Amino acid sequence: MRRIQVLVCSGTACQSSGGERVKKALLEATAARDLLPEVQFVETGCMGPCELGPVVLVYPEGTFYVRVRPEDAAEIVEEHFLKGRPLKRLLWAGAAPQPQEIPFFARQKKVVLANCGVIDPERIEEYIALGGYEALGRALTGMTPAEVIAQVQRSGLRGRGGAGFPTGKKWELVRAGGPPPRFVVCNADEGDPGAFMDRAILEGDPHAVLEGMAIAAYAVGAAQGFVYVRAEYPLAIRRLEVALAQARKLGLLGPRIFDTDFSFDVEIRIGAGAFVCGEETALIASIEGRRGEPRPRPPYPATCGLWGRPTLINNVETFANVRHILLGGPEAFASLGTEKSKGTKVFALAGNVRNTGLVEVPMGITLRELVFDIGGGVPEGREFKAVQIGGPSGGCLPASLLDVPVDYDSLTQHGAIMGSGGLIVLDSSTCMVNMARFFLEFTADESCGKCVPCRVGTQMMLGILDRIVKGEGSPEDLLRLEEIGAMMKAASLCGLGQTAPNPVLSTLRYFRDEYEAHIARRSCPAGVCPNLVRYVVVPEACRSCDACRRACPTGAAQGEPRKGPYRIVDELCIRCGACFDACPFGAVRKLPREEAR
Amino acid sequence: MISLRIDDTPVQAEPGETILQAARRAGIRIPTLCFLESLSPRGACRICLVEIRNWNGRLVPACATPAQEGLDVVAHSDRLTALRRTILELLFAERNHICAFCVSSGHCELQDLATELGMDHVTFPYRFPALSVDLSHPKFGLDPNRCVLCGRCVRACAEVEGAFTWGFSGRGVGTLVEPDLGGPWAKSPTCTGCGKCVQACPVGALFEKGKATSEQVKRPEILAEVTERRPRA
């Protein structure tokens, strides 16, 4: 009789912090106590709080352990498994034992992620036990394709890849897009820096995506599907392969599913590392074996997609939503969210926030709730500055907009976008100019080079930003950035170029003073841009250990061991930061330069 | 027939025709660069962008956008001229387009566009990349410093000659047109030496050896002529 169930997170984040070793140590410790017949171990997908990994959840009582190390295994087995006492020191903040008591979990609403971190993603039986493939069965045996489309339309589901196109509408367009063969494609080429929603879903609940694809295929009349997933997601690819094999074995994919006339199968296509292949027409070109380049639309993939056939392309999270619409009904689905944005959205919280990780919230929640209640706010001693939503295509929203509801239209209205769900929290230690430059460098590097506005425009904007962060900018540069940005938005071929200026334009809108400080005073207010800071020694903290003087290559750090605080001579300083890195007491500080030149 | 309006003139188009084809038949000139008659449209250079009033002022490439019933197209406006000029400036700033030293000066489509659109100076900093020239081929030369990445050579080679010698390598501003998977042109196992790519090139990136500037007049129209004369099954 199994009396204890141990869920070990095996998402990419927990694996990289040692989750596998923890599981192995727990198994060994359990075996050493002869408890193996009583304890069941399950490897699950992502549970969410990636920052605190590796995480382990112990049932029946649901004790949530964080930052578990292999050395803790013996104690967990001894104290908890044998004696029934949860190990206090491994609990979240040393206090709350159950996930539902932790604000990080309590404020979330898990629909898409309901199975993530609960089931073993490599066992189809666990998915089926929780209602898996029931929605597909209902659709195939009791609904016409038109009825399925109508339900998806009534649910108000919009594309989770970022642009927010109504999903039911898209399905209808594909069905009417021309005679078969038609195709269904799952876009899993998640490439925004700091975003890992789709990876977590594929790793934690791959069948939900496959079931959504099968339902969509039935609705639009397709017999063949493709998952286009990036090569950087080896674990997601492996779990997809396992899921495909298991679904085929049980007849949930392949010929005559549920003994109906409907046949559908899915193949995996692995991307070769180009960000632009997340754009649907470039993705199609890549699947067809051509260079991953977008092409002008119209015609849209709904009428002219893969090999010129009508093709439905939805994102991972969109497909994962579908079964919930059929199971709970479109009205129940639409009861969550706002008037124009229904359901939930998964976000990858990253950056200067305490609880980084994967969260799912109802649409319409405010940024404040997301960042502070769920994310736990910024680390101590810092000040919240902005959230960057939507990655390289998105924008920055300042503290004054923290009460903006998170839905497609509100975010767009304020210069950001919903995007695929990357949400990076920035605090007072972030330079907004440098941040905008980072994203632009990314898009300039990822531009495919097909159209002139994006290929050359990103380079020109990057050149200006390079000068500004070096302290060589001029006031006209800001107007120039806005001009080039507006031109790229209007004239670029695909979404990459059309949105690439957004990080710059939105920071110019809300943090123009920081740009002006870089230009007019040659000072970086956040103390980040190397040329625009000065290094100073805080006398009270200095123990005159000589480390900075030894590290300094130019003799700017001066002083004598044990003879009072050191100092850094600004005229000699080349701002390499060696003293900053060398100081063991944090006595060297980076401050914004003050003098005008 | 499809009815649409271009610059407030009623225009008719056959189903399957593009906005550019409809405009040309109606005698409305829309400037182009990467477009070449008889090759598939690429929509890459963005010179032929037109504004669709009833699509919220969205800009689309005339060469690649199908004509649709009721479209209200603006092909000429101050906004579009300024945009086309900016795009030309970006092209001139991207690589080394120095007319005085170019075999195509005087019969170069990039130069002609600058004249037509009144682009008389470049306000962006020149990037001055140093790209190596391929003079290995006995008859032709490739100077990527003058290339605008329009892909006309790539399409001419694939779609008309059927050799698929040319292709793009790299990406972004580092994109290059290269024979096969790179390497000197003379060593290409697929090149037939037909020279269609040279005739298709709108600038001096692909040129004939041993010809002076005045003799270097290209005939891009031969691609359409060759295609037209082909026997059809």
- For residues A457-463, give the mean pLDDT: 98
Query: Going by DSSP bridges, is the β-strand pair B206-208/B176-179 parallel, antiparallel, or unpaired?
Result: unpaired
Backbone region of residue A225 per phi and psi (left: phi > 0; alpha: psi in -120 to 50; beta: other values): beta
**Distance between CA atoms of residues A233 and A210, nearest Å:** 17
- Final residue of a structural domain among A427, A460, A485: A427
Q: How far is A484 from chain B (nearest CA, A)?
A: 9
Same domain, A562 and A436: no
Same domain, B43 and B129: no
Burial class (CB within 10 angstroms; exposed 0-12, middle 13-18, buried 19+) of B226: middle
- DSSP class of A102: S
Of A57, A18, A104, A527, nearest to A354 (Cα)? A104
Three-class SS state of A337: strand
Answer for the pair A417, A393: CB distance below 8 angstroms, yes or no.
yes
Same domain, A404 and A509: no
Same domain, B65 and B120: no
Q: In the structure, what pLDDT confidence band is assigned to residue B60 with cuts at 50, 70 and 90?
A: very high
Within a domain: A107: no
Q: How many CB atoms lie within 10 A of CB A571?
A: 6
Nearest CA in chain B to A490: B59
Out of B61, B86, B172, the one facing A455 most closely (by C-beta) is: B172
Same domain, A408 and A551: no
Residue A353: pLDDT above 80? yes
Out of A276, A447, A452, the one facing B90 most closely (by C-beta) is: A452
Residue B30: pLDDT above 70? yes
Answer for the pair A470, A531: CB distance below 8 angstroms, yes or no.
yes
**Is there a contact between A460 and B93 if contact means CB atoms under 8 Å apart?**
yes
Same domain, A392 and A515: no
Structure tokens at A115: 């199975």
**Is there a contact between A493 and B46 if contact means CB atoms under 8 Å apart?**
yes
Q: How far is A466 from chain B (nearest CA, A)?
A: 13
- pLDDT the model gives residue A162: 83
Nearest CA in chain B to A441: B172
Q: In the structure, what pLDDT confidence band is assigned to residue A593 with cuts at 50, 70 and 90?
A: confident
Q: What's the Cα-to-Cα distance from A484 to each of A71, A373, A489, B76, B218, rounded to whole Å?
A: 56, 38, 9, 21, 34
ipTM: 0.96
Within a domain: A86: yes
CA-based end-to-end distance of chain B = 27
Nearest CA in chain B to A463: B125
Same domain, A423 and A446: no
Q: How far is B94 from chain A (nearest CA, A)?
A: 7
Same domain, A353 and A449: no
Within a domain: A213: yes
- Final residue of a structural domain among B43, B76, B109: B76
Residue A504 dihedral angles phi and psi, to the nearest 5°: -75, -45
- For residues A188-212, give the mean pLDDT: 94
Question: What are the pLDDT digits (tens) for B185-207?
Answer: 999 999 999 999 999 999 999 99
Same domain, B72 and B165: no
- Final residue of a structural domain among A68, A101, A134: A101
Number of domains in chain B: 2
Beta-bridge partners for B49: B61
Q: How far is A151 from chain B (nearest CA, A)?
A: 29
Residue B137: pLDDT above 60? yes
Out of A276, A449, A453, the one facing B87 most closely (by C-beta) is: A453
> Is the four-CA dihedral B136, B139, B140, B141 of positive or negative sign?
positive
What's the count of helices (H) and strands (E) in chain B, helices before strands?
A: 6, 9
Name the H helices within A250-350: 280-287, 316-328, 330-334
Question: What are the pLDDT digits (tens) for B73-99?
Answer: 999 999 999 999 999 999 999 999 999
Out of B43, B66, B172, the one facing A448 most closely (by C-beta) is: B172
- For residues B158-182, give the mean pLDDT: 96
Residue A141 dihedral angles phi and psi, to the nearest 5°: -100, -20
Nearest CA in chain A to B33: A452
CATH of the domain at B109: 3.30.70.20
Burial class (CB within 10 angstroms; exposed 0-12, middle 13-18, buried 19+) of B186: middle
Answer for the pair A566, A559: CB distance below 8 angstroms, yes or no.
yes
Same domain, B88 and B51: no
Within a domain: A306: yes
**Distance between CA atoms of residues A73 and A426, nearest Å:** 36
If DSSP states are collapsed to H, E and C, what string results for A348-375?
EEEECCCCCEEEEEECCCEHHHHHHHHC
A314 lies in which domain range?
Answer: 124-333
Residues whose CB falls within 8 Å of the CB of residue A546, separated by 6 or more in sequence, listed in order:
A559, A560, A561, A566
Same domain, B42 and B100: no
Within a domain: A439: yes
**Distance between CA atoms of residues A161 and A345, nearest Å:** 11
Of A173, A149, A158, nearest to A326 (Cα)? A149
Output A325-332 pairs: Cβ under 8 A, ≥24 positions apart.
A325/A135, A325/A151, A325/A152, A325/A155, A325/A157, A326/A135, A326/A138, A326/A139, A326/A143, A326/A148, A326/A151, A326/A215, A327/A131, A327/A134, A327/A135, A327/A138, A329/A151, A330/A151, A330/A152, A330/A153, A330/A154, A330/A155, A330/A156, A331/A154
Q: In the structure, what pLDDT confidence band is assigned to residue A420 with cuts at 50, 70 and 90?
A: confident
Q: How many CB atoms lie within 10 A of CB B167?
A: 18
Within a domain: A597: no
Same domain, B55 and B95: no
- Final residue of a structural domain among B13, B47, B76: B76
Q: How far is B96 from chain A (nearest CA, A)?
A: 14
> Is the four-CA dihedral A444, A446, A448, A453 of positive or negative sign?
negative
Three-class SS state of A592: strand
Q: How far is A474 from chain B (nearest CA, A)?
A: 14
- Final residue of a structural domain among B76, B95, B111: B76
Q: In the structure, what pLDDT confidence band is assigned to residue A94 with cuts at 50, 70 and 90?
A: confident
Least confident of A592-596, B19-23, B89-93: A592-596
Q: How far is B119 from chain A (nearest CA, A)?
A: 16
B-chain residues within 8 Å CB-CB of A296? 41, 43, 60-61, 64-65
Same domain, A362 and A420: yes
- For residues A457-482, give the mean pLDDT: 96
Answer for the pair A333, A156: CB distance below 8 angstroms, yes or no.
yes
Out of B60, B66, B87, the one facing A452 most closely (by C-beta) is: B87
Amino acid A555 reads: G
Give chain A's mean pLDDT.
94
Same domain, B127 and B39: no
Amino acid A98 reads: Q
B-chain residues within 8 Å CB-CB of A457? 90
- For residues A373-377, give the mean pLDDT: 93
Nearest CA in chain B to A291: B168
**Distance between CA atoms of residues A416 and A404, nearest Å:** 11
CA-based end-to-end distance of chain A = 77
Residue with the two structure tokens 């820096």: A193
Three-class SS state of A557: strand
CATH of the domain at A28: 3.40.30.10
Same domain, A96 and A138: no
Question: What are the pLDDT digits (tens) for B207-224?
Answer: 999 999 989 999 999 999
**Distance between CA atoms of residues A520 and A507, nearest Å:** 17
Name the H helices within A415-494: 432-446, 452-469, 476-491
**Is there a contact between B172 and A449 if contact means CB atoms under 8 Å apart?**
yes
Q: How many CB atoms lie within 10 A of CB A94?
A: 9
Same domain, B180 and B221: yes
Same domain, A447 and A304: no
**Is there a contact between B46 and A451 if contact means CB atoms under 8 Å apart?**
yes
CB–CB contacts below 8 A, A to B:
88
The angle subtended at Cα A191 by Cα A187 and Cα A192, nearest 5°, is 125
Query: Going by DSSP bridges, is the β-strand pair B49-52/B72-74 parallel, antiparallel, or unpaired?
Result: antiparallel
- pLDDT the model gives residue A177: 95
- For residues B155-162, give the mean pLDDT: 97
Residue A597: pLDDT above 60? no
**Is there a contact between A459 and B173 if contact means CB atoms under 8 Å apart?**
yes
Question: What are the pLDDT digits (tens) for A247-282?
Answer: 999 999 999 999 999 999 999 999 998 999 999 999
Residue A407: pLDDT above 70? yes
Determine the residue among A441, A454, A456 to mutate to test chain B binding: the one whose Cβ has the most chain B Cβ atoms within 10 Å.
A456
Answer for the pair B90, A457: CB distance below 8 angstroms, yes or no.
yes
Same domain, B70 and B100: no
B140 lies in which domain range?
Answer: 84-229
A-chain residues within 8 Å CB-CB of B60? 296
- pLDDT the model gives residue A103: 85
Task: Give chain A's contact residues with B (Cβ, < 8 Å).
Answer: 274, 276, 291, 295-296, 298-299, 444-453, 455-460, 463, 487, 490-493
Residue B232: pLDDT above 80? no
Same domain, A406 and A542: no
**Is there a contact between A449 and B149 if contact means CB atoms under 8 Å apart?**
yes
Answer for the pair B223, B156: CB distance below 8 angstroms, yes or no.
yes
Q: How many CB atoms lie within 10 A of CB A324?
A: 23
CATH of the domain at A411: 3.10.20.600
**Distance between CA atoms of residues A155 and A324, nearest Å:** 10
Residue A112: pLDDT above 60? yes
CATH of the domain at B30: 3.10.20.740
Residue A436 dihedral angles phi and psi, to the nearest 5°: -60, -40
Beta-bridge partners for B74: B51
Helix or strand run (H / E) with residue A4: strand A4-9
- For residues B37-52, give the mean pLDDT: 97
Q: In the structure, what pLDDT confidence band is assigned to residue A2 with cuts at 50, 70 and 90?
A: confident
Structure tokens at A510: 């809300």
Same domain, A141 and A248: yes
Q: How far is B171 from chain A (nearest CA, A)?
A: 5
Residue with the two structure tokens 């002609």: B112
- Largest Cα–Cα separation, chain A: 88
Same domain, A584 and A537: yes
**Distance between CA atoms of residues A423 and A130, nearest Å:** 30
Q: How far is B211 from chain A (nearest CA, A)?
A: 30
Question: What are the pLDDT digits (tens) for A146-184?
Answer: 999 999 999 999 999 888 999 999 999 999 999 999 999
Residue A100: pLDDT above 80? no
**Distance between CA atoms of residues A160 and A157, nearest Å:** 9
Of A101, A124, A96, A121, nearest to A9 (Cα)? A121
Same domain, B147 and B191: yes
CATH of the domain at A451: 1.20.1440.230
- For residues A288-305, give the mean pLDDT: 96
Residue A36: pLDDT above 50? yes
Three-class SS state of A299: coil
**Distance between CA atoms of residues A89 and A109, nearest Å:** 28
Three-class SS state of B60: strand
Out of B42, B49, B94, the one facing A456 most closely (by C-beta) is: B94
Task: Give chain B's contact residues with A (Cβ, < 8 Å).
Answer: 41-46, 49, 59-61, 64-66, 83, 86-87, 90-91, 93-94, 124-125, 127, 149, 167-168, 170-175
Number of domains in chain A: 5
Q: In the structure, what pLDDT confidence band is assigned to residue A193 with cuts at 50, 70 and 90?
A: confident
Same domain, B53 and B127: no
- pLDDT the model gives residue A596: 41
DSSP A402-431: TTSB-SHHHHHHTT---TTSEEEEEETT--
CATH of the domain at A326: 3.40.50.11540
**Is there a contact between B45 and A452 if contact means CB atoms under 8 Å apart?**
yes
Of A52, A107, A170, A10, nearest to A347 (Cα)? A107
A-chain residues within 8 Å CB-CB of B18? none
Same domain, B153 and B182: yes
Q: In the structure, what pLDDT confidence band is assigned to residue A106 with cuts at 50, 70 and 90?
A: confident
- Final residue of a structural domain among A66, A101, A136: A101
**Distance between CA atoms of residues B93 and B85, nearest Å:** 12
Within a domain: A215: yes
